[in-house]
Amino acid sequence: MTRIFSGVKPTGHLTLGNYLGAIRRWVEVDQHRADALFCVVDLHALTVEHDPARLRRLSRQAATLLLAAGLDPERCTVFVQSQVDEHTRLAYLLECTASDGELRRMIQYKEKAEAARRSGDGVRLSLLTYPVLMAADILAYGADEVPVGDDQAQHVELTRDLAVRFNQRYGHTFTVPKATHPRVAARIMDLQDPLSKMGKSHESGAGIVYLLDDPDQVRRKVMRAVTDSGTSVVYDREVSPGVANLLEILAACSGGDPEELAGVYESYGALKRAVADAVVELLRPVRERHAELAADPGYLDEVLRKGAGRAGELARPRVDAAYAAIGLLPG
Ligand code: AQP
């Protein structure tokens, strides 16, 4: 059976980008067709300035939102990365497989290191090395597929390179996984800055729709989205990135095609109203279910405890095999 792994990083409140680029497919498709594991990758959130109490809150909120979105713990494994030691155990072996140069080429590292320098914070060494930890997250489970948004394509490519290199050097140990991306909405852009990705850790939330925003907040953000000085609705990411972004969001919500939808709306105002309505309806059940689940923290604890138990059992034999293959003595 196909094995799928993917995760979400609790560096901020989850966004419409996280939902359309990744989580919705996990819920609607992946958990039904494969042995799927979905993880709150909390260790990755330690790579930038963080507040421990906020991280704890955001980790629980992210896990609750995964369930609220429709991940079913009877069908798939939902867990928190730091509760399964195999990830960090394997990461070190993969650090001994990766090179400094290939990690410095990672776009997210360049962007986030630059942002940390600008704000006067030091650049944590883990910001450079975390793509290796991400490779360990994936390879520990023998995942065949990694459903992610476009921004994670480079990290999955690194994971593939490390798997191939390890296998060549030490004998076949890892499945070489492939990234899968959604048909539309693989990169939702910030509504205020359509040349930048909608990212949960951006300082200004004005262009970011969070999954727990109430309908009024969603409408306000969408109606104020930056478009351009033209008037006709066309789908062209180069010439009119703000309008193209709105069309992609609408297509993702309604199952349509952005180019065809462009012909349906005569003004930017009409398009924005349609997008706002579609996003409000898309998120309504998620918000409602989140409120129910948040009222029962014991249920989440139980799901995560079982999830970590199963994940650990799955990962251990492969990580042990990697330790043996690389030349370490058995414990
Ligand atoms: N804007 C986006 N459009 C489409 N997909 C997106 N994803 C993230 N942003 C968008 C996808 O969501 C999944 C979980 O992302 P992540 O939590 O691993 O973090 P990230 O990729 O670094 O995204 P963020 O939200 O922008 O976080 P910060 O601001 O902390 O860096 C992934 O599959 C991702 O591709």
Looking at residue 330, what is its pLDDT?
Answer: 86
- Give the CA angle between residues 123, 177, 141 to the nearest 5°: 80
Residue 279 lies in a domain: yes
> What is the CATH classification number for the domain harbouring 253?
1.10.240.10
Sites in the chain below the pLDDT cut of 70:
none
Looking at residue 176, what is its pLDDT?
Answer: 98
Residue 204 lies in a domain: no
> What is the CATH classification number for the domain harbouring 94?
3.40.50.620
Q: Do 170 and 114 belong together in one domain?
A: yes
Q: Do 159 and 287 belong together in one domain?
A: no
> For residue 297, what are its two tokens?
């923290």
Residue 210 lies in a domain: no
Looking at residue 228, what is its pLDDT?
Answer: 82
Separation of CA 151 and ligand 1 centre (Å): 7
Catalytic residue among 9, 110, 178, 200: 200
Q: Do 301 and 264 belong together in one domain?
A: no
Q: Do 168 and 83 belong together in one domain?
A: yes
Residue 156 lies in a domain: yes
Separation of CA 327 and ligand 1 centre (Å): 36
Q: Do 171 and 243 belong together in one domain?
A: no
Residue 201 lies in a domain: no
Q: Do 135 and 249 belong together in one domain?
A: no
Q: Provide the residue range defining the domain that includes 7.
A: 3-181+296-326
Q: Do 268 and 312 belong together in one domain?
A: no
CA pair distance 59, 80, nearest whole angstrom: 8
Residue 48 lies in a domain: yes
How many domains does the structure of the chain reveal? 2
Looking at residue 308, what is its pLDDT?
Answer: 98
Separation of CA 199 and ligand 1 centre (Å): 6
Looking at residue 120, what is its pLDDT?
Answer: 87
> For residue 216, what are its two tokens?
């009024």
Is ligand 1 within 6 A of the CB of residue 93?
Answer: no
**pLDDT, tens digit, 9 for 90 and up, residues 102-122:** 999 999 999 999 998 998 889
Burial category of 258 from C-beta neighbours within 10 Å (exposed 0-12, middle 13-18, buried 19 and up) = buried
Residue 237 lies in a domain: yes
Separation of CA 149 and ligand 1 centre (Å): 7
Catalytic residue among 9, 197, 221, 272: 197
Alpha helices in the chain (DSSP H): 16-18, 24-25, 31-33, 52-69, 86-95, 100-104, 107-118, 125-139, 153-170, 215-223, 241-254, 258-262, 268-294, 297-326
CA pair distance 199, 185, nearest whole angstrom: 14
**Ligand 1 atom 33 nearest Cα:** 148
Is 110 known to be catalytic?
no
Residue 195 lies in a domain: no
- For the CA of 45, the closest atom of ligand 1 is 30
